[in-house]
Structure 1
Amino acid sequence: MKTKFAIFDIDKTIIHTDSMFQFLKFGIRKKPASSPVILNVVLRSLLYKLGLMQAEKAKSAYFHAMRHLEDADLKHFYETELKPAIYPDALKKMQDKKSEGYHVLLVTASPDAYMRYFAELPYVDKVIATKLSVKNGRFTSMIEGNNCKGEEKVHRIQQYLTEQQLTIDYDSSCAYSDSLSDLPMLGLVKHKFLINHKSAHGCEGLRWNR
């Protein structure tokens, strides 16, 4: 049986900020001695843009603080930095879609270590995120598998559909993102929306205000 899906990116789509930068700052506040990691972040980001480093390795620098944090710290980060950053329009859209019988799916390139808490929202059915490895009961900064971006989002969604024995009702489903890198994901549904973006690229534009 086909299911109506409402698929959302998170960073700058559901929330008005980039969670990786917020987490980097959060980690430095928790452990000020780790502040030199910023230089590593800049270097790896530059190497990635030059095509000299894989995204997975470049992004891991942002998560340097993971080894020092427990689940309670990650939950605190979500509660104090991410949840308050949710666009009111995005919140209402998720609530409306859930009440209309949609399967609400959040798919993000940011790590599951803290993005998983979005699944606690009563109108969210599932969060799919980049996976971080776990060592001695704590998340590490190392990405496990592939960065959940671009075509990888489609792969992870299809994997989820297979596991749950679900099929997307293309004509009735919708998807929302701020980024053109999500065009493969947006292609899974008929109704595509770009949030606060100048270009349409076959999508309808939506303006969400803070």
Structure 2
Amino acid sequence: MEKLAIFDVDYTLTKKETLAQLYMFMMKKNPSFIIHAPRSFFSAFLYALKFFDAKRAKENFITFIEGIKEEDMQRLVKEFYEEKLSKILYEDAIKMIKKLKGEGFKVYLISASPEFYLNELYNIKEVDKIIGTKFRCSNGIYSRKMEGENCKGEEKVRRLKEELKKDNIEVDFKNSYMFSDSLADKPLFDLVGNPFLINYKKGHDKIKILNWK
């Protein structure tokens, strides 16, 4: 049986929220993308007020990818990783990935952020599997519409088990690890024997807290 080291991404591996970083990166490359700003940030505001659920808010926020060709997106996310994403990773997170990989764990990154750019984190050679929210790419053109559900909460567990079944992997969850900055990942925390909260300010009586820089 395999042991997993599961990591959330935003504010767990990274110091900043990655989707907002992607949008700012793309605006820097093409200032005309500013046209999407009112809708994107209004959607985030309505989500905070609970008028939008996470799926609707994310589909509205990410309008800036609408109509981008697949080959152009591949070039953009490669540049995004090299110029921005790789620069906002916590050093302590990378050390933990390397440590657990060296001890024989399979390293899984599971995030609600879009998979089309999270896949650039395969540049971290220790990463075995990346699972994120999928967005439609039809006939080589990207859409803001999700494929399936937002990869958050219970959906993370469902997607993980789906991938494990597909890869025919049996897991020793009791001796596996999960790292996240948020209790929104309680379903994954409950799955493993070694849960850790990252940079969590409130304290917790059951889950150990690690402070990463």
* TM band (smaller chain): over 0.9
Gaps of 5+ in 1: none
1:31 aligns with 2:30: yes
C-alpha spacing 1:201/1:163, structure 2 compared with 1 (3 Å):
farther
For 1:139 and 1:4, the matched residues in 2 are separated by 35
RMSD: 1.5
Tell me the residue number matched to 1:186: 189
For 1:38 and 1:70, the matched residues in 2 are separated by 19
For 1:116 and 1:59, the matched residues in 2 are separated by 18
For 1:200 and 1:168, the matched residues in 2 are separated by 27
For 2:85 and 2:61, the matched residues in 1 are separated by 16
Alpha-carbon displacement from aligned partner over 1:90-133 (angstroms, at most 9, x marks no partner): 11100111111001000010001100111232100000000010
Which SS does the other structure have where 1:97 is aligned? helix
Tell me the residue number matched to 1:156: 159
For 2:117 and 2:79, the matched residues in 1 are separated by 9
Larger displacement relative to structure 2 (85-94 or 35-44): 35-44
Tell me the residue number matched to 1:107: 110
Structure 1 counterpart of 2:191, which letter?
L
Structure 2 counterpart of 1:172, which letter?
N
Structure 2 counterpart of 1:115, which letter?
L
Alpha-carbon displacement from aligned partner over 1:135-164 (angstroms, at most 9, x marks no partner): 331332221110001111011011111111
For 1:125 and 1:197, the matched residues in 2 are separated by 26
Structure 1 counterpart of 2:128, which letter?
D
Task: Choose the corresponding residue for 1:121, options 113, 119, 124.
Answer: 124
Structure 1 counterpart of 2:174, which letter?
D
Structure 1 residue 201 displacement after superposition: 5.3
Structure 2 counterpart of 1:164, which letter?
D
Structure 2 counterpart of 1:192, which letter?
P
Tell me the residue number matched to 2:174: 171
CA contact (8 A) 2:22 2:80 kept: yes
For 1:30 and 1:72, the matched residues in 2 are separated by 12
Task: Choose the corresponding residue for 2:210, options 185, 206, 209.
Answer: 206
For 2:140 and 2:152, the matched residues in 1 are separated by 26
Alpha-carbon displacement from aligned partner over 1:155-183 (angstroms, at most 9, x marks no partner): 10111111112222122111100011011
CA contact (8 A) 2:44 2:61 kept: no
Where does 1:56-71 land on structure 2 (aligned, <5 Å)? 56-66=55-65, 67-68=67-68, 69-71=72-74
Query: How many residues are matched?
Result: 208
CA contact (8 A) 1:4 1:103 kept: yes
Gaps of 5+ in 2: none
Larger displacement relative to structure 2 (85-94 or 52-61): 52-61
1:80 aligns with 2:83: yes
Q: Structure 1 length as normaliser, TM-score?
A: 0.93
Tell me the residue number matched to 1:97: 100
CA contact (8 A) 2:43 2:61 kept: no
Percent identity of paired positions between Structure 1 and Structure 2: 35
Q: Structure 2 length as normaliser, TM-score?
A: 0.92
1:140 aligns with 2:143: yes
